[in-house]
Structure 1
């Protein structure tokens, strides 16, 4: 339960004051064998699920954190899973009998003990090219973990600018509350989208590119120097952060409607 759900349940008399106090505790930390401390109430406090950054962790550590997190919460995201670890984490997750949500071209998983209903806001997610899809899918899984509905449009970059208009029109008609744009090379798509809509846009520079300004440097610099207002930018390849920000914006917007 998130904070608003706890308060609504308390108001309706479904839970006691003591139970509400316990659920709202800000200091509940679960320790995993001395090497990890899990903030299990982050979801209740901020609406953001626990995220395991797997790239620099050992496989055994990842499994232990997954197991402990799912004992206490409904969901966990594992991002940047190493290629050799991915099949084993999938197999381990199946043994836990949880719902496994994967992303296209992504090394990220969303694990759920029970399905999440998309009762939050709406987020649009765009990529300039197919090479940006993995990062965009990180954002999608994060948004869906935070109860948001996602509308995606991939491979619609400025190299064929006519591709952007149908999906952007759909997003406007669907009244998305925020748009994420993942783009490598020169990162121009984020500025273009921001210049055409009255919706908050979050740019993700991706590490797609070569030569001068490679590894996302040119895309990051371009987005940071954008003259289009209404565009914010996260770090290179940081789809998780973009998803968290977008979902927070969308969920706050839906509560105000």
Structure 2
């Protein structure tokens, strides 16, 4: 039950004040010792808290999911191990997993499309897809129409130009690239909408684990480009969703 439902039940005399106070004891946050769950984040930001699974034990992830599930929150987990998902699936049969992007999803409420337009996710190469899919599924789970245009990097610029109709239909574009990271600059020069650049760690030695792509994107001569951290598909999907929902 979310706060709005709780207040509606009190208003309609379906729930007494003492019972409502008991339900509110874990608001705005719930301290589990190893995690402090922010149950009010959806009220403040429009989205529930997202679980970053990497570095967390299976026990801690399951504990967080249990508390969020009790609140009927939609649950999104990033960087989730397949072995962890298998354990979650045994307890929560409705859990879904996108293996390439390592995205975990448990949908307890209908996902309402509040986006004003479409988000398009573009990649330089096929090797960038795991990060791009993290952005894709994040934006989709947060209530947006999302389309993918993959493997259209600058090494064969005609591939990108052949997708101009899709790119021009976007309200926000997420451009994901490794190697030298030139794709966002090219895309930024073709469109009149915000471009969110995502550098990936894909590349040979002088790529420095994505640092070269990051610096290229930060130094882009095209206007209207913002840059998130290396391999941060989630951050790009989240930001794109916020932009897409602006009036």
> TM-score interval w.r.t. the shorter chain?
0.7 to 0.9
Q: Select 1:239's aligned residue among 233, 236, 245.
A: 233
Distance 1:17 1:138, change over 3 A: farther
1:53 matched to which residue of 2? 52
1:123 matched to which residue of 2? 119
Instruction: Summarize the alignment of residues 73-222 of structure 1 with structure 2, pairs less than 5 Å apart.
Output: 73-82=72-81, 86-100=82-96, 102-103=97-98, 105-121=100-116, 122-173=118-169, 176-222=170-216
CA distance in 2, matches of 1:127, 1:198: 19
Instruction: Please state if 1:230 is matched with 2:230.
Output: no
1:91: how far off?
4.1
2:65 matched to which residue of 1? 66
1:104: how far off?
5.8
The answer to whether the 8 Å contact 1:178/1:200 transfers is: yes
Larger Rg: 2
1:14: how far off?
9.3
The TM-score, its normalising length taken from structure 2, stands at 0.85
CA distance in 1, matches of 2:164, 2:86: 34
1:37: how far off?
0.5
Segments of structure 2 that go 5 or more residues without pairing to the other structure are 16-20
How many pairs were matched up? 239
Distance 1:41 1:130, change over 3 A: same
The TM-score, its normalising length taken from structure 1, stands at 0.82
Distance 1:72 1:14, change over 3 A: closer
The answer to whether the 8 Å contact 2:131/2:200 transfers is: yes
Q: Is 160-169 or 88-97 further displaced after alignment?
A: 88-97
Question: Counterpart of 2:76 in 1: which secondary structure?
Answer: strand
2:242 matched to which residue of 1? 248
Question: Counterpart of 2:205 in 1: which secondary structure?
Answer: coil
The answer to whether the 8 Å contact 1:124/1:178 transfers is: yes
The answer to whether the 8 Å contact 2:88/2:95 transfers is: no
CA distance in 2, matches of 1:134, 1:112: 22
Instruction: Please state if 1:28 is matched with 2:33.
Output: no
Question: Counterpart of 1:150 in 2: which secondary structure?
Answer: strand
1:184: how far off?
0.3
